[in-house]
Structure 1
Amino acid sequence: MAVSPSGLGAQTARPTKGNGPAARGPLPQPQQTEKDRMNAWTVGLAGGLLEGAPIRLAAEMARVVDDGANLHLIPIVTRGATENLNSLLYLRGVDTAIINSDALEEYKIQVPGIRSHITYLLNLFPSELHIFVRPEITNLQDLAGKIVNFNTQGTAAAYSGPLIFSRLGIQVEQTFIPHQVALEQLRKGETAAVVFITSKPVDAFVRGRWDAGFKFLPVNYDSRFEDYYLPATLEANEYPNLIKQGERVSTIAVPTALVSFNWTPQSNRYQRVARLVDYLFSRIDRLQAPGFDQKWKSINLAATVPGLTRFQPAQEWLDRKARSAQAPP
């Protein structure tokens, strides 16, 4: 159900008159200028931290869909992927955002029915949970009461990690320092575990040298994770120095998705996002060419996002594509 953004802050806020002189009647409407035309088809995309993968993907999307005044996608640097949903709901000029699916959890109270306010365009990539521990830690319960690092605030690990541990029912002493520092503390025994939530493989575990016993802990996918997460595995060919050949480590993944506010179909902002979908989906092969992030090669336009409904023009595009594929030559 499309919702009018009437109750969500900046998405509906209208400029106030302040203390200036009162208007003396309707202003004359000038002819559409180049500025008007450009703004009519400009889409703001909240992308996250400058050093993160989401803003890099946002910048690549902007390169591929650019069509002058017909479509201009503007990536926006924010405080992090976990803040992008907040920007989408409340920040002027933000039409779309790259979020982790479980970011919706934080808004259940302050925005009742949050899932009806947000719709997804594309499931971009999974971010796998990596719980990397010292040799003396043999299972998740061993971490209770011990120091576990979740990277710096604003990262996926800093938001999703504590949420996942809460669902596991394990209370730990949380730290939020850069992983490079935490990994050294892990070697020295000052930290029991580090939690990464990012696309595999992770360089620190591929290139790093680790003594025997350092390992990933398995996390089994069950009903506690069905609302936002997906089952995943860490494979021996991805981490040959840490996982024996023929073995795998079960874990879960946090979907990273391109989403939009659920604008009403008659609104200009709905039409802007619909045009973005058409350009992006039609040009996805360009993003899969050399020179772009490798994640694009595994993109499945039809992949779903747990807990969210697909943006209607995106579904219509997929339906048209399916019909054309089935049509006789």
Structure 2
Amino acid sequence: MARVDVCAIISAIILATACGPGDSARAQQQRAPAGAAHVGAAHVGTLPDRESLNSGTVTVITAPIGGPMSVMGSDMAAVLDEGESLRVLPILGKGSAQNLVDIIMLKNIDMGFVATDAMEFVKTEYNIPDIAQRVRYIAQLFHNDVHIVARREIRSLQDLNGKRVFAERSIGLPAARTIFRRLGIQADIDSQTDPTGGLQKLIDGQGDAWIASVSKDAPIIKGIKNEGGRLHLLAVPYDRALQDIYLPTAFSSEEYPNLVPPGARIDAVAASTVLMVYNWPENSERYRRTARFVDALFGKIQVLQSPPRHPKWRDTVLSAPVQGLVRFKAAQEWLEGARAMQSPTTDGNPAEFRKFLDERKAQARMSSDEAARLYSDFLKWQRSKETR
């Protein structure tokens, strides 16, 4: 039922009885904001409070349009929006490496999508030895598979020594630099081209391989016509030197019939894509703002994992750890609190959470989605008490 403004009704009655029809209309016009447009009886809105709007907005840097990152950023803006208290503002970025640089350096960027192999690339490219202390991760979202499309004559990674390899900065260069450095391969890497331009140069015979770290079933790769079988997907072994960054994966002929022989399986590696955030001090407004975002993201993850949202959300495992990185504290506390709720012997948050539910007469039996949403509401309630 809509809330009734009793004072407004009383004022209207008094005005109507004290004035004639003409006087009442003039009085209403005088009360209207200066310069407001009147179209019939249309309601004239007011701008939101500037301070509230800014304190509730977080920015997420994604990637160029065409991949899952940009769509997932749009999904977050649609699902997590809570008016002035939380607004997610996606920004198109230039890929993992540049996203990581932007998270560290740009004042207006709160967090962004970053593949884990970009960490080592940026660390060595810009000589930032303490990069792991400058950032934190919120959650692991999905994986990017490292595709190496090579000429038929290239049968192993070692065959790329001294060869020309195209690896555009936004989708392939971090993987190329990291894998080649760790496996001792000295290739001539050409990164001065766009993704499709590099692939076309390989097809035209101007190089020996092309590297892209993208989601499996990528249209750009599935669309290679490959007349005469001149190209193929090169295997990347799950070498011990790669295991602290990459996970094992494989490509099948069902996934890439144009590049994998029928019935064959090509070994490959994949890098985790995480939602990364600057390591904001805990007492800062940016930390509190990001913590509110975390509450909303974790509390509504099942909504994001349902249609019509991007299917890559279904690969997201909030509790999955990321080797070599520290989780953002508010995210870690959310997960610990959710786990503690399942243990009746745990003190602290679970008892307070049960009190929170009792006050709201919440059902004892609820779905996991409802429990997650209520737990996020509980954390907001706790933080509101702390700031009083």
Same fold flag (TM > 0.5): yes
Q: How does 1:1-329 map to 2 (within 5 A)?
A: 34-105=49-120, 106-107=122-123, 110-151=127-168, 153=169, 155-176=170-191, 177-210=193-226, 211-212=228-229, 214-244=231-261, 246-325=263-342
2: distance between equivalents of 1:182 and 1:157?
Answer: 10
1: distance between equivalents of 2:343 and 2:245?
Answer: 33
Which stretch of structure 1 is more off in the superposition, 89-98 or 177-186?
A: 177-186
Is the contact made by 1:54 and 1:81 (CA closer than 8 Å) also made in structure 2? no
Q: Name the count of aligned residue pairs.
A: 295
Q: 1:110 to 1:173 in 2, by over 3 A?
A: closer
Q: 1:42 to 1:184 in 2, by over 3 A?
A: closer
1: distance between equivalents of 2:204 and 2:94?
Answer: 31
TM-score by length of 1: 0.81
Code of the aligned partner of 1:56: V
Question: Tell me, which stretches of 5 or more residues in structure 2 are unaligned?
Answer: 1-47, 345-363, 366-388
CA drift of 1:116 comes to: 1.9
2: distance between equivalents of 1:164 and 1:247?
Answer: 23
2: distance between equivalents of 1:96 and 1:189?
Answer: 40
Code of the aligned partner of 2:160: L
Deviations 1:34-70 (A, max 9, x none): 2111112211222233455323322221211111111
**Superposition CA RMSD, Å:** 2.4
Code of the aligned partner of 1:189: G
1: distance between equivalents of 2:331 and 2:264?
Answer: 38
Is the contact made by 1:236 and 1:245 (CA closer than 8 Å) also made in structure 2? yes
Q: 1:100 to 1:291 in 2, by over 3 A?
A: same
Higher helix share: 2
1: distance between equivalents of 2:245 and 2:197?
Answer: 30
Q: State, as a whole percentage, how many aligned pairs show the same letter.
A: 33
Question: Tell me, which stretches of 5 or more residues in structure 1 are unaligned?
Answer: 1-32
CA drift of 1:326 comes to: 6.0
Which stretch of structure 1 is more off in the superposition, 300-309 or 237-246?
A: 237-246
2: distance between equivalents of 1:197 and 1:68?
Answer: 36
Deviations 1:62-113 (A, max 9, x none): 2111111110111123343311122111211211121121222223674442
CA drift of 1:324 comes to: 4.0
SS of residue in 1 equivalent to 2:229:
coil
Structure 2 counterpart of 1:8: none
